[in-house]
Structure 1
Amino acid sequence: MNPFRAWVGRAWSHSRLIFCAMQSMAAANLERFYPSIIPIGQELRKEASVMLACSTDCQRETLLALLMIGATSSWFNPKDSGASLFLSFQSRLKRAILLNKVDINGAEGLFYMGSLVYWRMLLSYVHDHPRIVRDEIGISVRVPSQPSTLSFNNTPHPWAGVGFEIQKILCEVGLLIRTKRRKSKVPDDEPNPNLFDSQNSLLEAFELESRLLQTGCPAEDQVTNPGDHQTPVDHLLVFAEVYRLLGLLQIYRIFPTVLTSRLAADRSTWISSTRRIFNMVHHHAMTWGLQMNVPQDQFSPNFMAIWLTLFAYSIIEKLKALPIEAGTGAFQPFLLVACSGELRRPSVFTAGLKALIHSDGSLILMETGILRARQILLGRLQMLRDFLPPKPWDLCVSIVQEVWSRMDAISFPSILDKESDSGMDNMPLWLDVMIDHGYETLMG
């Protein structure tokens, strides 16, 4: 039921383009066992790239090859996002749709659009090109939120799973927070960012938060079972929920005003799924003896830091339930890296936290839990390196270790001295580490 695998499987024996693309991917995956195969894979990739550059068509084999060569660029060079190939795929797909070569709501069209959204989502966190992070197809896909009958629309996508709409929102989140962090790095002697732009960004953050809270996933019985015993439907639904939680985490981290507004809101007006999301944080807080029910005027920076840490911990707990060898394994690195930046270790000597705890033992419990979550996260990344092309995952591990190193060098009060709607600017962030060190790799 995987159209990607089926189409490639039928084409490779008669299409030199597909053959070279597929073999180059295999070579990249085998290089840690057979280093001598690296030049062969590079030569096959080069041949496929030349064939793509010399053609202008928008046939199925060309579109598939662009996905195969472009989305695996980081397998060969971890700092190559495949951006130019993404743009080529996007423009050729649009032409294929306009020429009626691809039905946008048919099996092939939905596969391509899901692939495009997933690829763009990853790119939006590592690339600034406006043509990449903005949707240039301009054609809507009919994906009902609650399908009444089983169809391809609710058959899991090989890359996007069942979280198509959520990943579309995550594209916009990536563009917003990356732009915000880049503006925050403007030197003090340069003109301050335009206040109007800052207010627009905050309004956009509020809108994206609302959309993420309102966008749900289909019920389990509404999703076609793909027949993969290692990746049942409930795993795919958990994965889609993790994407949604991650989007919220990034918004709340960069725009603390959005989080304080949400926490101060009347909970009786929340839909059940929103209430469930925020109850996760209180569940873990109670487990560690932390008191998180504080009045609105006590939403201090220390409180916000702990809340974000508990939220990130909740996401890791959900990911922990998904086996690393399952079909979702190859798509976890981005989620793991983005969560890593909120796993702060509290200090038992941090006076600013005394009002939030019942006893000093609560901080010890919390630190133990965070250290375990870190161990799980890093262990997953290292395990993925053992059965996926290793180059991008090495950078992922470097990002995670560096952001933790920066966190552990400071304490809660000092990292929250400066707070604004540009985010908690002095607090270490995974996105900053990635940008500062040039670790911008495609994590998927």
Structure 2
Amino acid sequence: MSARNYHSKSRGGCSTCKSKHLKCDESKPSCMRCQERGVMCAGYTKSIKWPAKHQFTAGMVGQSKSRASHQRSTKSEDAGWNHFKQFEHTNLEDMLTSSLDSLADGRFVDQEAWADMSFFNSVVDLSSTSESLPSLINPGTCPELTDGQFATLTTSDFAENARQMSFVADRSTSIPPIDQGQNLRVATSSLYNLAHEETELCSHFFKAVIPLFCVWDNIINPMRIMIDSLWQHSAPLRHVIQSMSAACLSKSLPRMKSIASSQHKMAWACLKDCSNRSLAQDDRLIAAWLIGHTYSWLHPQNLGLDIFDRIQCIVQNINLREQNPHISFSFFQGAMIYSEMLLAFMRGKPASPAPQNEFDSEYQKTTEPSHPWLGISCETAQLVTQVGHLIYEQWRRQCLIYGFVDDAEMEGFRTCLKQARYIERQLLTYTPGQAIVSVTGDSNTNEIDLQKTDEAYRYTGLLQLYRVFPDLLMERYTPLDKEKFLSVEPPTSRPTRQEQDEWLASLALYILEKIGTIPVESGSRCLHSFVFVAVASELRFESSRNEGEYSQDTNQYEAFMAKATKTSAIDIAQARQFIRARMSLYSEILPVPKTGHIFQLILKIWNAMDEKAGFVFWLDVVHRENLHTLLG
């Protein structure tokens, strides 16, 4: 009787040998033991670990049980079923399938559903249960996948085969644990940014942009009240306030520049095809005005003329006002007075100005606080606007003159001079009591700040008239007395060109003296840029040409140089430094490119004055250097 062969327990053989706890030589495609017995070798499987604490769905277990019933004994089937009975109640299949479908659709998975990521961190171990669950490892049930084939599986393939759960891993391949927080944090962060960026920009608008944009701001600010009640229901308004917020943040966050530009385009896309009648709504009008004004925030040379002209036509249209009594036309009337003042020196009088009517006078007689964008009185703003139209017309006429002046050009000059005299009288007879300036309740801006700014604008208007129309100055020339500046007396003498320049320089210094008493924190700083540009061309040092006028008279030359050295040069240098300091601060406080653009214009004016002997007017520099912008 032959001795019985001894076979030790197999741990890595074919399924047939492992089921009988026999050693397998692991020959391929069929082991020797199966060949000797004449049975079909069940094949080999790779070692995969599966956590016992996680569960399958009842459907998955049922499918596995059905497949096992055709291939294994009742005893093995019962053993496998009992071992995985604990997985019966969790719908893992549905969770996987729905999650993959969500990813394929570009949606994010519910964070709570994936809060417990320990399932993916666990090492899968099926070796201890493979003998009792042959249905999950039987190659006849699901074909064996190589690593390359597994890598090429798409999301849809994965979802389709998620039920089978027969992934084959290489024995030498270790599955690194997945960081349960990394992918979730990335998805959550991206989702948060996309969902809340709009809200954050809108919140920043109310918190920081409105106080920067308005001369004064508090709970009764009509701009704040109007936008707060409309922005959530108005797409163009929502886009434009996001654009303004992003523009103010672009200096610190450069990526916001593209957001500001795209939101601005989206806002205008909502309105550009609207008729004037459909545009006559509070939310659309204020959105259109903000779009026009903030063109220069993104592109300083863009004045937004087309938009402002459309708004002006709507505001001045009597029929639209009668048909829409609920529209805040008085608010937009004040806004357009402000816009016209800023545009007057850049383009002159519009080709087809809107007709004026009694609505203007009614608005001026109101006792409400000054407009939050305007700050100064409407009368002052309209007078400065007329000055701008006149100055631009005369400057343009002067630029177009070639050779000698003909009679038509002389007649045009006389007409402008007549208009200039009328505006001068209006500015001189203006009294502070007429200014619609009242206590605003703003902690940073008080009534005195607005009154000083109002006065500075009046004096700046007169400064421009006296520079462009020197006949007006000759008709009232007396040594400048700050206390009696508005009181016109008969001239004491006919001033020379040098005396006119000194008189105008003294007036410019007086204007800056008024601005210098206003704190930097005051909201009236929004209006100071125009004043700085207008007075900049008066802050000139004496040139060699002026010195030559006195070269033949030693006593006069010494007296002139002593006066220039002790007073004029020092005062002008200090005035320039004051403007530099204020504009540098404004560039930080009002962080939009336009502020730096205005500062660059002022520096260009001074460079031109210092390099070239003779008179330099600031409008010459604006057009020569292409530095057009809204000076406010």
State how 1:253-292 maps to structure 2 within 5 Å. 253-263=467-477, 275-277=484-486
Distance in structure 2 (CA, Å) of the matches to 1:278 and 1:342: 22
- Pick one of 384, 401, 410 that aligns with 1:195: 410
Q: Aligned residue for 2:547?
A: 350
Q: Aligned residue for 2:424?
A: 209
**Is the alpha carbon distance of 1:343 and 1:107 closer, same or farther for their aligned partners in structure 2, counting shifts above 3 Å?**
farther
TM-score (norm 2): 0.59
Distance in structure 2 (CA, Å) of the matches to 1:358 and 1:128: 42
Q: Which has the larger radius of gyration?
A: 2
Distance in structure 2 (CA, Å) of the matches to 1:135 and 1:77: 27
Distance in structure 2 (CA, Å) of the matches to 1:401 and 1:77: 19
| Contact 2:231 2:283 survives alignment (8 Å) | no
| SS across alignment from 2:523 | coil
- Pick one of 363, 367, 370 that aligns with 1:156: 370
State how 1:235-384 maps to structure 2 within 5 Å. 235-263=449-477, 275-277=484-486, 295-297=492-494, 299-346=495-542, 350=547, 352=549, 360-364=561-565, 365-384=567-586
| Contact 2:370 2:376 survives alignment (8 Å) | yes
Distance in structure 1 (CA, Å) of the matches to 2:455 and 2:468: 20
Distance in structure 2 (CA, Å) of the matches to 1:340 and 1:355: 28
Distance in structure 1 (CA, Å) of the matches to 2:386 and 2:322: 28
1:99 shift after superposition: 3.6
1:215 shift after superposition: 2.0
Q: Aligned residue for 2:335?
A: 115
Range with greater deviation from structure 2 (106-115 or 161-170)? 106-115
Q: Aligned residue for 2:268?
A: 49
Cα deviations across residues 228-262 of structure 1 (Å, max 9, x unaligned)? 01110011111110110010000000000011102
- Pick one of 219, 233, 255 that aligns with 1:14: 233
The amino acid that maps onto 1:438 is N
Higher RCO, 1 or 2 (CA under 8 Å, sep at least 6)? Answer: 1
Q: Aligned residue for 2:14?
A: none
1:116 shift after superposition: 0.4
Question: Does 2:585 align with 1:387?
Answer: no
The amino acid that maps onto 1:161 is G
| Contact 1:75 1:389 survives alignment (8 Å) | no
Q: Aligned residue for 2:360?
A: 141
Q: CA RMSD in A?
A: 3.0
The amino acid that maps onto 1:122 is L
Q: Aligned residue for 2:311?
A: 89
Distance in structure 1 (CA, Å) of the matches to 2:327 and 2:431: 22
| Contact 1:79 1:440 survives alignment (8 Å) | yes
The amino acid that maps onto 2:328 is E
Range with greater deviation from structure 2 (338-347 or 92-101)? 92-101
Range with greater deviation from structure 2 (192-201 or 304-313)? 192-201
- Pick one of 273, 296, 299 that aligns with 1:77: 299
**Is the alpha carbon distance of 1:322 and 1:85 closer, same or farther for their aligned partners in structure 2, counting shifts above 3 Å?**
same
Q: Structure 1: which 5+ residue stretches go unaligned?
A: 280-292, 416-426
Q: Aligned residue for 1:175?
A: 389
The amino acid that maps onto 2:576 is R
User: How many residues are matched?
Assistant: 402
Cα deviations across residues 334-362 of structure 1 (Å, max 9, x unaligned)? 11111111111236982647759967443
Range with greater deviation from structure 2 (398-407 or 40-49)? 398-407
Q: Aligned residue for 1:283?
A: none
1:190 shift after superposition: 8.2
The amino acid that maps onto 1:130 is P
| SS across alignment from 2:328 | helix
| SS across alignment from 1:55 | coil
**Is the alpha carbon distance of 1:71 and 1:102 closer, same or farther for their aligned partners in structure 2, counting shifts above 3 Å?**
farther
Q: Aligned residue for 1:288?
A: none
The amino acid that maps onto 2:272 is A
Cα deviations across residues 168-219 of structure 1 (Å, max 9, x unaligned)? 0111111111111111112525874621111111111111111111122327
Q: Aligned residue for 2:344?
A: 124
Q: Aligned residue for 1:287?
A: none
Distance in structure 2 (CA, Å) of the matches to 1:99 and 1:239: 32
| SS across alignment from 1:165 | helix
1:6 shift after superposition: 1.3
Q: Aligned residue for 2:629?
A: 441
1:14 shift after superposition: 2.3
Question: Does 2:244 align with 1:35?
Answer: no
Distance in structure 2 (CA, Å) of the matches to 1:126 and 1:177: 10
- Pick one of 51, 55, 59 that aligns with 2:281: 59
Distance in structure 2 (CA, Å) of the matches to 1:362 and 1:278: 27
**Is the alpha carbon distance of 1:157 and 1:436 closer, same or farther for their aligned partners in structure 2, counting shifts above 3 Å?**
same
**Is the alpha carbon distance of 1:388 and 1:110 closer, same or farther for their aligned partners in structure 2, counting shifts above 3 Å?**
same
The amino acid that maps onto 1:350 is E
The amino acid that maps onto 1:118 is Y
Cα deviations across residues 251-308 of structure 1 (Å, max 9, x unaligned)? 000000011102269x9xxxx99824479xxxxxxxxxxxxx99413x1000001111
| Contact 1:302 1:352 survives alignment (8 Å) | no
1:144 shift after superposition: 8.6
| Contact 1:30 1:389 survives alignment (8 Å) | yes
**Is the alpha carbon distance of 1:356 and 1:377 closer, same or farther for their aligned partners in structure 2, counting shifts above 3 Å?**
farther
Structure with the bigger percentage of helix: 1
**Is the alpha carbon distance of 1:219 and 1:98 closer, same or farther for their aligned partners in structure 2, counting shifts above 3 Å?**
closer
The amino acid that maps onto 2:269 is V
Distance in structure 2 (CA, Å) of the matches to 1:23 and 1:276: 46
The amino acid that maps onto 2:409 is N
| Contact 1:213 1:273 survives alignment (8 Å) | no
Cα deviations across residues 46-85 of structure 1 (Å, max 9, x unaligned)? 1110111132220111111111111111001111001001
| Contact 1:20 1:44 survives alignment (8 Å) | yes
Sequence identity (%): 26
**Is the alpha carbon distance of 1:195 and 1:359 closer, same or farther for their aligned partners in structure 2, counting shifts above 3 Å?**
closer
